[in-house]
Amino acid sequence: MNTRKLGNSGIDISPIAIGTREVGEKSKQQTIETLQYAIDSGINFINTADFYGMGMNELIIGEAIKNRREKAFISVKTGALRNYQGHFLGFDGRPNAIKNFCAYSLTRLGVNEIDLYQIARIDPNVPIEESVGAIKDLIQEGKVRCLGLSEVNADQIRRANAVHPVTAVEIEYSLATRFIEKEILPEVRKIGASLIPYSVLSYGLLTGNLSGPLPKEDYKNMFPRFQGENLQYNLKLVEKLQDIASQKGITAGDLALAWALHQGDDIIPIVGMSSTKRVDKNINLVESIQLTSEENKLLNETFGIGVFKGERYPDALLKVVAS
């Protein structure tokens, strides 16, 4: 596979990253086989967090990369707190806490160094300079290679980068969620970092496979864009995406991912891959689907900033993420 440079690090990585948030929901053996197949096939960027599966994800990833460490690039988010049931408790960005979290991640992963260490969310009670300073210490100690941030605003990026160069910023970005293009993406590019978009299919909305109303037990009901009239309006927009995709002989989801990949070589989307077949499908998409300048312009104009209705998070969650 063709590779992309990770920010200002000079490190070559695959143009897409493997998302592992749902690793624990699949069989352990299937997960290990899928991860190893992906690494051997050229997708070497594995994105995880120490709070995914309450640490279980890191243990499984550690097994998968045991004989492939030199091939794998591991990104870990940290700082989010959960109880034994997995319920959110808040954030902890204190320097000693971050160093403690890192020690546990290194142990669970079975590695000596984490390639990209990211603050999952900024702790409102701790200056970002202190949290970043802790990761700077870890880099100097050889426990971390690169500094990353997640769900931050432009000012926070500037403040963090003043302490230590920021290599990557992970944040939600898709055809349906383009708010970062106003201030955040320009700042990421100004400092020479890479953008790591998650939810490039907007929690499945852009696949064209959803219909409303959603089942009551579906977690997406908590997001405003999946509620009531918002959902019906947004599904009509997705029909336009399907029409454009059908002209290329691909799915709406394929087109949405292709769009993200075509917004710049400094963008490395996170993609879920639950089986070896999904790995092959994503590799084929990356290598084969090209957008012309006219197609890219059409998508950008049809699905501009603010076109989709509904905030990406409910009010309660908006208070704990960058806006």
Task: Indicate which residues carry an active-site annotation.
Answer: 52
Residue 285 main-chain phi, psi, to 5 deg = -65, -45
- Determine the Cα–Cα distance for residues 118 and 236; give it in Å rounded to an integer: 36
DSSP reduced 3-state for 195: strand
Contact 138, 264 (CB under 8 A): no
β-pairing, 88-91 vs 80-82, is antiparallel
- Determine the Cα–Cα distance for residues 167 and 150; give it in Å rounded to an integer: 11
- Determine the Cα–Cα distance for residues 53 and 121; give it in Å rounded to an integer: 18
Question: Quick one: DSSP state of residue 124?
Answer: T
What is the length of the chain? 323
Identify any residues that bridge with 267 across adjacent strands, giving them in sequence order: 195
- Determine the Cα–Cα distance for residues 196 and 30; give it in Å rounded to an integer: 25
End-to-end, the C-alpha distance of the chain in Å comes to 34
Sheet order of strands, 45-49 included: 194-198, 166-172, 144-150, 114-119, 73-78, 45-49, 17-19, 270-272
